[in-house]
Every structure is written in C-alpha cells, then in structure tokens.
Structure 1
Amino acid sequence: MRTRKQKIFLVAKIVVAFALLAIIGIFSFREALLQQIIAKTANKMEADYDSRFVVKKAAFEGFSGVHLADISLVPNHADTLFNIHEIKTTVNVWRLMLGEVQLGTLEIKKGYIQLTKKGEVKNFAAFLKRNKDEENTSDKKDYAAFAYRIISRVLNLIPTDMKVENLTFKLDDNGKKATIGIQKLVLANKELETSIDVQTNTFAQRWKIKGFTDPRNKKADIRFFNIDTGAIKVPYFDERYNLVSSFDSIRLNVENIDKSGGELHIDGFSSIANLKINHRRIAQKDVLIKNARLDYRLLLGADFMAVDSSSTAQFNKVKFHPYLAYETEEDTVYKLKVKIPKMKAQDFITSLPDGLFTHFQGMEAEGTFDYYLDFAYNKNKPNDLVFNSNLKKENLRITKYGEANLNKLNGEFIYRAIINGVLQRPVLVGTSNVNYTPLDQISPYLQKCVLTTEDPSFFSHHGFINEAFKQSIAKNIRTRKFSRGASTISMQLIKNVFLTREKTLSRKLEEILLVYILENNRIVSKERMLEVYFNIIEWGPNVYGIGEAAQYYFQKTPAELTFNECLYLARIIPSPKKFMYQFNDEGMLKESAMKQVSFLTNLMIRRGLLTVDDTIFKKEQTILTGPAKSLLRIKEKDTTVVDSLKIDEEFEF
C-alpha cells in the first residue's frame, strides 16, 4: 500500500510529465499553430469587420519569442487602419498554457495607426458595431467582474520591458488633422520615458511622458508635460469642437487595483496644473484652474459603479468630498452627493476659477460656511427626483463687492441692456426719469398678473424654488437638452442688471451665486427688487420698463391699466418682440391667446388673487391703442357701396 505522501508525489510527477509533453508538443507544432492563429484572425476580420488582416512574415524566435513583420489591417473600401513594419515580443508560456496571453517584452519599429473620416466614410466604423450576442442577451452585467477582466487583460498585454521607435498615430476628420509621433518609448526596470512629436493644422509641440509603471503589480505613477516652453495644447478639439484647451502638466497615480468580496477597488490620485479652457458655451474669456487634484477611490460591484465619498477633490483652496454612483439593482439610478467641509468664505472666493466668475473678482468676505448637495435621478421614476441643497453659514457677510455691486439696486443707476453682444440705449432707473414708476403707482392687477406668470412665490422664497429646479432638471435630463429653465424674478433681475443674456456656463453659475448673496444677506428688500424689475425689463422693440410699455401699447399710465391689459403685458414678457403674432388680421387676440387669457384668469381666481367683481373683465377684448398697433397686420375693411337695386339671380334649368 502506498502512503498518502507517495500518492501525492506520484500525482505531481504525472502532472509535470503532462506539462512537459504539452510544452514539447507546443514547441514542435508552434509554427503551424502560429499560422493557424493568424489565419483564424484574418477570417474573423473579413467575416465580422469586412477588413483584410495580413501578416507577411511570422516566426518564433527562441523558446517564447515571436517575430512579426509587415502587419496591416485594411478595411475594404476605406483607408488602412494600421500598418506596423516590425513587432518582436515574448510570451509567458506558463500563462499561455492556462489560456492567458501575457507579454514579457515588446519591441515595435516603424509603423502607423490612423483613424480617418472622409465624407461619411470612417475606416473604423465596422469596429464600433456591437456584438450581436451581447445585444441579444438579457442577462445583467456584473460590472466588477467585467471591469476586472478587462483591466487584467490590458495589463497582461503591457510588457515589463518595452521599446517603441517611430510609431505614429494619425487622425484625419475631413481635413481636421492631428499627428502624434512616438519617436521613442522605453519601459525598463519599471521606469517609463517617451519622446513625442505632435503636429496639427494649428500648432506643433514636443511632449514627454515619464514615470513609474509596474503592470504586474497593478501600480503606476506617470507625469505628462511639455518639452518645449509653454503649456501643452490639446489637439483636434480646437478645430472639431472650437474647444481650445491647454495645461502645464498632468500626473496620474494608481496605487491599488483589488477585487475582493465581489467588489472592485481602484485607488490613486490624479492632478493637473494650470488647466485653461476656452469655448463659447463655457465663458467669453479663458477659464483658468491653477491647481486641481482628485484623490479617488473607485468602487464597482455587481450592479453599481461609484466614486466613493472617501474621495477628495480639490481646486485651488476648495476641498470637497464627491460621491457619484450609477446603480442598476432594481431601477437605473444616478446619484450625486457633494460635501464641502467648513471653510473660510474668502478662501472660496479667491479659489473661483479665473474667467468663470469675472464679476466676483475683488470681492471680499468674512465668516465661514459648509455645504451639502444630495441629488438622485431614477430613470424609470423621473418624478421622484431628489434635489436637496443646504448651506450653513457662520458670521458670513460681504465686506467688499467686486464688479457686481449689489448695493446699487437701492439707488438710482443707469441700466443698459445687452442684446446679441450690443449695448442698447441707456435707461435711468430712478425718479429723475419721467417714465420711472414706483411700485405703489403700478396697477395691483399688473403686479398680481406678473407674479402669477413669472414667479408666484416671489415674496416667500429666497431666490430659488426647489420644486421648479427639480422639475427643470428632470425635463432637461429626459429631453437631453436645456429645454426648461427655473428662473425666478430674482434671477431675472440679476441677469438683467449685472450680467448678460449669453447662454454660457459662466453666466449661469454667476447668476446662481449672486442671487444667493442678494437674497440671503438682506441687501435689497423684495419690494424694491420688484420695483426695479418692473422698470427695466424689455416689454417690446426698444421698450424698457412699465412706464414706456403702458404708453406704447395702450397710451395709459401703469396705474390706469385694466385687468385684461395687465394680463396681456404679463403674458408677453417671455417674447416681447413677438407680441404682434398674438393678434389676427382684425386686430383681435387669436383663439390660442384667448385660451391663455382664460386659463390664467381662472388660475388667479382659484388662488384668490381676483374677486367676483374682477371677473367682468373676462369677456372684454384687448385692443392696442398705442404705437404698437402700427406693427399689427390689420386688413382694411371693404367700403365698396352696394347698389341695392341690382339683383343677381341664378337660374337653374
């Protein structure tokens, strides 16, 4: 009888024998296997991607080395996708026996990879198609397992020693070109160093990537910077999207990639210095973020992906903890949480990116604050959107204003609207202007109508309406565009007096911050805000303020306006220059406009803003009697005299 130890030893010898036989078999038939793999790949490229894959020379070198020459992939009816003159690599044989491909060394000499689009023909289009097997399956994807599998495969294909010479990446999008040429890339002893030439239609630069990389232990720490003086410019995006961007350097650090307990953890940090962005949708000026850093912890589970709340983001002196999540356990849910710990208000102001908050430059403040945002959107239940924003302040006050001096709303000032970047005529906001109308001389009907159409809770909110914000966000997400706003009278006032009408991220962010300061620091009373609003808003072509509007449409003072006239003026505020399209060729309101009148009137009655006596106005017509009438297309009545003695008869036989 053999002992247990002897049995184990016998099994081990059998396993080793089989392994040796397998190695000998692979070694003996490896050339045939290599050609078979190449042929199989070529057939797949032809069948699935309508492309020709060619390797003119393929042979083994030594025990685990492979030498390939003149490798190309050419889509039929499109430009070559890549062509490499020579590739030499070694493969980990033991991993290969387990079904994994892990490169040991890699040497690439001379070649190019290119993406082209000519007209609508893309040489990479076939490779963007989804796998039919994946499309037909209804099984839920395990994000952690899938991501770990992809990361492991990619890291296995990164060799521990690598040398690349004269490899070029080309991009040609209908004449918008960018070429990134790797003159030299060396990875040896876990140290990476490169020399890169960049050429576009608009600039040429030399870049360098340098640092530590250890693909087998899943660690890296690399820096990306410019060899020449000046910042690194981002190619292609300036021509394709009119997005001009640059930076001094980028650092990417990966400290840990680990999968345990069904979750994948990725830890590290990334930073960027002097990031500069210019785009007409962001701001009118260059936006500059001097220093930004993210210490991240990425979590992936079977049914979620998230940036964990233990992560810390920082730009300039502002630090906050972000939480981003995408969950699919029951419904598809997007979550965002932001927590800014207690910080000095002045540090926050000085940290605002240059160019993005120009009206805050020079502002000074005292006190501290902390902030918390909680947002959640359920794709299957959009009306259950969560939006909670909470700012706690301690002894917070503005001691000096910047370019936007909110105190000017309390006195006389000159207002000039800006339309399409052009300054309009000056309007004096104050009693020295004959058309200026104090709030107590404006018809109460007009005040009620405007508040009903523009901002029903104006006197109770603090600049923002959370429910309106939630509805606006939900609709914008559903339509995938900014199709609905949530603007209050406070926001309209700030936008008109201090900002412009440009549709940029900068203007919207400044508007939100200025409204918060205005409404939460008791700088101006609600009554004064409403009075200024009535006296500056555009009410027609070159018509500003209610004093001018009452004369322009009805030849009256604001105090003399009837309910229907007030309701008309309130309804045209969103598009005052298109007022004439509400009237028919007889100078009467169209049926669609009358339906709006009826709806708003009934709404105001239900809200108790009108009495029974006020309803007599419901049946009255709104007739323009002022200069505005000349812009209506009114047909002249037929005044031809009819001969009463003339009889036209029609006979039927």
Structure 2
Amino acid sequence: MQLPKINIPKKYLKVGAWILGIIIVLSAISGTIAYSKREALLKSMVAKAIAKAERDYGLEVKIGEAGFSGLSTVHMTGISVVPKDRDTLTTISDLTIGVKLFPLLLGNVKLSQMMLEEGKIHLVFKDSLSNIDFILKRKKKDSTENKGKVELSEIASNLLNQILYKIPDDMEIKNLLLNVNDNDTAKLSFLTSSATINGGELQSTILVNGNEATWHVNGEVKPARKHFDVMIFADNKKVELPFLNNKLHAKLSFDTVRTVLKSADYSGNDFRMEGSWSVRNLLINHAKISANDIIVPDAKIDANVLIGANYVALDSSSTVFLKKAEIHPFLKYTLSPNKIYEVKLRAPEQDAQEVLNAFPQGLFESLEGLKVSGKVKYDLNFYLDSSQPDSVEFDSGLSPLDFKILKWGKIDLQKINKPFIYTPYEYGKPMRDIMIGPSNPNYTPLSEVSSNFKNAILTSEDPSFFSHKGFVQESIRKSFAVNFKEKRFVRGGSTISMQLVKNVFLSRNKTLARKAEEILIVWLIENNRLVTKNRMLEVYFNIIEMGQNVYGIGEATRHYFGKSPAELNIGEGIFLANIVPRPKIALYKFSGDGGLKGYMYNYFRYIGNIMARRGLTPPDTSGYGFYNVRLREGLRQYLLPDSATIDTNSFDNDEDPLPPVETQDESKTLFDRLFGGKKDTVARPSTNLDTIKTKKEIRQEKREERKREKELEKKRKEGN
C-alpha cells in the first residue's frame, strides 16, 4: 500500500530547524560548562561519599588524589578504608574506574573499565568482632515512611543486575592481596597477581598462602547478555580450601568447578535463571560425614531456578547427573504467608548397576564390589507447612524391576542366616566375641523366647515389623512433625531391621555415610528377602544390649531374674523391653527390696494397654505384672540405697549400640544427633528419671557403680 504524500509548509520546517539547532547549541554549552566544572563536581561527590561512609557506617575513607583521566574515567590514588575502632580494611595504591555514559543517564552505573594496582584487603575476625561489622548496619528509616511490599523476584533481578553492572568490559588487576585472619587460628592469603577481562575473556592467576598453590579463574564473562561461563582450577594439583580444615576440621578439594549462567529474565511474574554447575573429583572429609574420604568423580546439575513474589524454587525440569545416573529434583521454599518446605525427587527407571556405580566412592564401603542386574527407579515427596506441622506429607520409595544381586561386595548380607560371631563395641573398643548360634549356651532360638517379651518389644520398638519392608513411612512422617515443633531432634524412625543392620554389618561411627549405608543395606535385605523376618528377629534378640556387658535375651533373663527366656512373665517382658533404649541404667529402675520403682508403673500401664487392645495380652487393671517383677536376690546387694540419686544421663554414650531417646543432650546440634541410631517408632509416655545431687556425689557414685559392675561380672562368669 502506498502511503499518501504529506506536504509540510516550508515555514514550519524552518521553525523546526531553528528549535533543533537551539537544543544542540544549548546541549553543547551545558556539556562544555559541565566538562569545565567536572573536577569540582567530582571533588564534591567524593566529599559527600566520604561523609556518608563515616556517618552511616563508621568508616574512615581517605583518597590521596582523584581526578578525571578521560571523558568518563576517574583515576584515584592512595585509597584507604578503616572501620572505626577496627583494623584497616582496604588500601589501594592506584585505581582507575570508567563508567558507561548512556546507562548513567538512565540511573544505572555500569562499569566500562577498571584498572587496579597494588591493593590489599584485610578481613580480621576477633571473637565476636570483625572489621566488616559495618556491612550489617542499616540506616534508620522514618517510621512514617510507607513503602509497598517488594517481591522476591524483583529483589533477585535487581541484585543480579547490580552484580553484573559492576563487572567491567575491560579489566586489569595487578597484585590485589586478600588476607583473612580468624582469631589467629586460621590465616589465609590470596594474591591475585593478575586478572584481566578482554573482549569478554577472563584470565586470572591467584597465589594461595604464598606459593602453596596457584589457582586460576578463567572463562567467558558477558554481563550485558547476562551470561558467564567460569571455571576454577589449580596448577598441577587439586583446589583445596584450607580455611575449612583450619576452622571446621574438614577437607574439601576438587580438580575443577565450572559455573555457567545461560540466561536470566522474567517469565511472566517469575524471575527465571537458567544455568549449570559441575565438579570433577570432588573430595569431602569430615568426621560427621564419613570416617573416610568421599570422592565424587563427576557431578553436574542443569538448574532452572524460579523466584516468585514470595518463593524460591528449583524447577523439576532441572537434572542432577552422577556419572551415568540422573535424578530430577524439585525444591521450593515459600516465605509467606506461612513458611512452606517442598521437596520432590524423581529418578526415572534406569540401570541398577549404573545407579550403584554413581554413588560417591567411600560412601558405601561395605558394598564396594557389589554387582547387580535389573533396573530401579526412585520417588520422594515431602511437604511441610510450618503452620500445620502435624499435616506433614512424606513418601519415599525405591522400586526394583527385575533386580538381582549377582555378586556380594565386601560383606555377605546373608551371613546372619547361619551361625556367626558378633562383636559388640563400647567407647570405640570391642567388648568380647559372642557366637550367635547353638554352640553358645546363652543363644536362644525364637521359638524359645516368651511371647510376653516378644510382644512387648515389638509393641514398644517396631509394631509393624512383620509387615513393613525395613521402613515405616508413617513413623518417619511423625518424626518430622515432632522434631520440627520441638526445633531439635527428639524422635527418629528406625526399625528393628535398621537396628540389626547397624549393629551386625556396620561400624560404630555415627556419620551421614553410615546412615546412608544402613538404609541401602536394609533395602537390599528386605526387598530381596535375603533373610526371613523370623531369623532377623531371632538374631536381634540374641545381640541386643540389655545391661552392662549383658547381650542377648538369654544372658539378660538369667542376669536379672535367674530364669530362661521362655519363663518370662508379662511384667518381666515389659521391663526388658523398657531397658532396650538405655540398657546401662537398668539396675537403677529397682528399689532396694528388688521391686521396681514407682515411676515405672505408668509405662507398664501404657504398653500393657496397647498390647491388650491388640489382643496380645488380657486386659489388666493392676499394672500388667508391674508388682511381679522381682530382681534376682544375688543382684540386690549391688543396688544403691533408695535415698541415693544419680545422673542416669551420664550413662549415655555415643557408642551404645542402641542409643536412648527418653532424654537428649540439648547442647548437641541436630547434625550431631541426626544419625545417632535407634529412636522410638511409637510415642512413649514421659518418665521421671532420677535427679542429680552434686558433681562430686555423682563421680563417687559412678566409681562405686563401676566397682559393683566388675564384681557382678566376675560372679556372672563364675556362675557360667
């Protein structure tokens, strides 16, 4: 279509030309004036910035000389920054900064170039003080100021832009030293001898602690396109983080780490960032994670991060790769109106051996060399609304498809199907070897164990033992709810299967790796029916700790009551089930006359009523045998007087095969207790434990107790 011709009168064209000319002349005059006054303007701006730093942050900033070296380039020398009453933070000998003019007119400060020579940054931490405390300071805001609520997506977008804007198109850094001094216990230095950005290509050389190591951060940086691809590596060795070793007694090293930002922009109302992160030969070592080095040869995550108005999420389109295995994670954290935590993991059907090979080296030490066939898939769903913790959702399942074990690893998971030697440990030391088989006179077949004890311990420890496949998801779900409400670890979800595997097959190290190994071995045994439920329970009854150097139901019944396991009455069965979580304090539950202390009565009623409702014992209003539990006459001489008190918590130790749950050391962190062993799978009533006198009395009573235990052990051996 041909546009119609527009005729503009010449007089209007002349007027327009005059107006445009005037604007150009005025702009030129303004530019000339501004250019001639720019040094004064710069001086004024520097003075305001120095005053603001001192007023708002308590920083003493000094600049020797400052002036323009180009149209939009500022050159400064003799720069120093010293926080009030703190060590010097920064000194820079020579700094040149250039900004882009057009973005500056729109209110955005984007660097075009940066050149720095001879700079030092000192980070000093002394107890609770540091020379970067000023970062935490905030300006006092007018209480009457009314600002609209800022969305997380907007904050994320602005923050990323501010970071990218400060990356110059051209950069040259020479000799920038970063020193870190943490309470004089961890001293580190990083000297960037050279770092350049030229045409988007980043090259750098960093000397760590003098000449201990030479690092490089190289790659491609294009801030205008919101894209970077950066890799960190070291010359002829791994990149190590010495600060972790000095401060946290942890080792972390790797060959290379690569970080890629592919794109970052709005998708509807959400801010989306797409990128990847990968690592080669990652090594991790910490006493709480594993007793050995854990090595991840090759790992990568392709990540899609979504940030909405009130949430941050890792989208399910993300993929984690471990060698040839893959898993799709979904993580979401909602901040308001209630904090909500969501986790979903989906590993599609894939080769089982490839999945096994993908696990980090050192994570499953006992299974190294295991060969399998078939396929597996995994799904996990977790949802917790902080306003309704009791409604937490949890579901986890590893599903086998034609799965078979072709070759055992370091241990034979079927070894408990025949007689074997069990070695219990206390305080990291082996106690004695116990034959779990007929050649041991204290060994008790399951058929010869009283149903009173069998039903009591299943009721208190693992009611669904014969129906579950190693795990009770409802128990785990309730544990999440209880622990979240208590804000500490007070309840776990271990089953008898897990306790058995932990004690028979694994070390006594309380680590994340051991817990993960325990879970996998339980799954292998239960889902492949390597051991029958009856045999598992029989072995469990014969290895369970039930007193000081007392192991198994056979030793326990003779030790406490002078009878065989088949002769236990309902009260004795409930008592022995009760001491399983804390076997070393069993004798403190008795009064001097050999009867149980009164506080135990409620426990008997609680467990007895549950057993009665399930048809495992007749209803009883007199305490389900509480008054019929009588300690063997020969043991009563070792009881403390009824008036004595003792700190029963002092008998808990990290090496107990079956750790307690009635009390917790609140000084321990969640990580310290998370993988500590057996916890109740059903709720227990509270009990009134013995109280504490003085530390001196406790030490004396403990010495007397150890003496009595030695005498008791000597008599027990003589009796055998």
| Alpha-carbon distance in 2 for matches of 1:419, 1:464 | 27
Shift of 1:489: 0.5
Q: Cα deviation per residue 1:325-380 (whole Å; 9 max; x = unaligned)?
A: 11245422121111111111111112211111101101111101111111122122
Shift of 1:17: 6.3
Q: Which has the higher contact order (CA 8 A, sep 6+)?
A: 2
Tell me which residue corresponds to 2:255.
248
Q: Determine if contact 1:582/1:589 at 8 Å carries over to the other structure.
A: yes
DSSP-derived class of the 1:604 partner: helix
Q: Determine if contact 1:418/1:500 at 8 Å carries over to the other structure.
A: no
| Alpha-carbon distance in 2 for matches of 1:614, 1:426 | 43
Note if 1:148 corresponds to 2:163: no
Note if 1:183 corresponds to 2:193: yes
Note if 1:270 corresponds to 2:277: yes
Note if 1:323 corresponds to 2:333: no
1:119 aligned to which of 118, 127, 132: 127
1:575 corresponds to which letter in structure 2? R
Change (3 A) 1:278 1:605: same
Q: Determine if contact 1:170/1:179 at 8 Å carries over to the other structure.
A: yes
Q: Aligned residues: percent identity? A: 36
Change (3 A) 1:323 1:130: farther
1:372 aligned to which of 350, 375, 379: 379
Shift of 1:33: 2.8
Note if 1:209 corresponds to 2:223: no
Which shifted more, 3-12 or 104-113?
A: 3-12
Which shifted more, 137-146 or 54-63?
A: 137-146
DSSP-derived class of the 1:610 partner: coil
Change (3 A) 1:138 1:590: farther
Note if 1:522 corresponds to 2:532: no
Tell me which residue corresponds to 1:646.
none
2:492 corresponds to which letter in structure 1? G
Tell me which residue corresponds to 2:109.
101
Which shifted more, 415-424 or 606-615?
A: 606-615
Which shifted more, 527-536 or 610-619?
A: 610-619
Note if 1:289 corresponds to 2:296: yes
Which shifted more, 509-518 or 583-592?
A: 583-592
Change (3 A) 1:52 1:390: same
Shift of 1:420: 3.2
Note if 1:62 corresponds to 2:70: yes
| Alpha-carbon distance in 2 for matches of 1:197, 1:401 | 47
Question: Any stretches of 5+ residues in structure 2 without a counterpart?
Answer: 1-7, 645-720
Q: Cα deviation per residue 1:64-123 (whole Å; 9 max; x = unaligned)?
A: 110111222211111112111111011112222222111111001111112111233211
Which shifted more, 387-396 or 40-49?
A: 40-49
DSSP-derived class of the 2:242 partner: coil
2:515 aligned to which of 508, 518, 536: 508
Change (3 A) 1:531 1:91: same
| Alpha-carbon distance in 1 for matches of 2:13, 2:628 | 107
Q: Determine if contact 1:601/1:618 at 8 Å carries over to the other structure.
A: no
| Alpha-carbon distance in 2 for matches of 1:422, 1:544 | 16
Tell me which residue corresponds to 2:347.
340
Q: Determine if contact 2:231/2:258 at 8 Å carries over to the other structure.
A: yes
Change (3 A) 1:626 1:372: farther
1:469 aligned to which of 461, 472, 476: 476
Q: Determine if contact 1:586/1:634 at 8 Å carries over to the other structure.
A: no
1:153 corresponds to which letter in structure 2? Q
Tell me which residue corresponds to 1:218.
226
Shift of 1:242: 0.8
| Alpha-carbon distance in 2 for matches of 1:7, 1:615 | 111
| Alpha-carbon distance in 2 for matches of 1:137, 1:411 | 76
Tell me which residue corresponds to 1:442.
449
Change (3 A) 1:196 1:134: farther
Q: Cα deviation per residue 1:447-473 (whole Å; 9 max; x = unaligned)?
A: 111011101111111111111111222
1:50 aligned to which of 50, 58, 62: 58
Change (3 A) 1:482 1:133: farther
Change (3 A) 1:575 1:586: same
Note if 1:110 corresponds to 2:125: no
Which shifted more, 159-168 or 612-621?
A: 612-621
Q: Determine if contact 1:553/1:629 at 8 Å carries over to the other structure.
A: no
Tell me which residue corresponds to 1:160.
169
Q: Determine if contact 1:553/1:627 at 8 Å carries over to the other structure.
A: no
Q: Determine if contact 2:99/2:111 at 8 Å carries over to the other structure.
A: yes
| Alpha-carbon distance in 2 for matches of 1:373, 1:46 | 53
Change (3 A) 1:220 1:521: same
Which shifted more, 346-355 or 9-18?
A: 9-18
Tell me which residue corresponds to 1:198.
208
Q: Determine if contact 1:231/1:246 at 8 Å carries over to the other structure.
A: yes
What aligned pairs does 1:576-595 form with structure 2 within 5 A after superposition? Answer: 576-584=583-591, 587-595=594-602
| Alpha-carbon distance in 2 for matches of 1:291, 1:126 | 40
DSSP-derived class of the 1:565 partner: helix
Which shifted more, 121-130 or 564-573?
A: 121-130
| Alpha-carbon distance in 2 for matches of 1:29, 1:183 | 37
Note if 1:561 corresponds to 2:538: no
Shift of 1:628: 4.8
DSSP-derived class of the 1:57 partner: strand
1:152 corresponds to which letter in structure 2? N
TM (normalized to structure 2)? 0.83
Shift of 1:212: 1.2
Change (3 A) 1:5 1:328: farther
Shift of 1:398: 1.2
Shift of 1:587: 4.8
Q: Cα deviation per residue 1:182-235 (whole Å; 9 max; x = unaligned)?
A: 0010111111111110018xx9211111111111111111221111x2211112
| Alpha-carbon distance in 2 for matches of 1:137, 1:552 | 74
Note if 1:393 corresponds to 2:408: no
Note if 1:485 corresponds to 2:492: yes
What aligned pairs does 1:536-615 form with structure 2 within 5 A after superposition? Answer: 536-584=543-591, 587-612=594-619
| Alpha-carbon distance in 2 for matches of 1:432, 1:68 | 87
DSSP-derived class of the 1:259 partner: strand
Note if 1:405 corresponds to 2:405: no
Tell me which residue corresponds to 1:351.
358
| Alpha-carbon distance in 1 for matches of 2:415, 2:353 | 22
1:71 aligned to which of 79, 84, 88: 79
2:398 corresponds to which letter in structure 1? L
DSSP-derived class of the 1:246 partner: strand
1:453 corresponds to which letter in structure 2? S
Tell me which residue corresponds to 1:620.
627
1:98 corresponds to which letter in structure 2? L
Q: Cα deviation per residue 1:571-596 (whole Å; 9 max; x = unaligned)?
A: 11011012233235555433332222
Q: Determine if contact 2:601/2:623 at 8 Å carries over to the other structure.
A: no
Shift of 1:615: 5.3
| Alpha-carbon distance in 1 for matches of 2:623, 2:87 | 75
Which shifted more, 324-333 or 335-344?
A: 324-333
Q: Determine if contact 1:289/1:316 at 8 Å carries over to the other structure.
A: no
Q: Determine if contact 1:551/1:626 at 8 Å carries over to the other structure.
A: no
Shift of 1:418: 2.7
2:357 corresponds to which letter in structure 1? T
Change (3 A) 1:204 1:612: same
Q: Cα deviation per residue 1:145-178 (whole Å; 9 max; x = unaligned)?
A: 1111111111111100000011011111111111
TM (normalized to structure 1)? 0.91
| Alpha-carbon distance in 2 for matches of 1:10, 1:260 | 46
Tell me which residue corresponds to 2:711.
none
RMSD: 2.6
Change (3 A) 1:151 1:435: same
Q: Cα deviation per residue 1:291-311 (whole Å; 9 max; x = unaligned)?
A: 001111111122221111111
Q: Determine if contact 1:246/1:276 at 8 Å carries over to the other structure.
A: yes
Change (3 A) 1:585 1:516: same
Q: Determine if contact 2:117/2:173 at 8 Å carries over to the other structure.
A: yes
DSSP-derived class of the 2:456 partner: helix
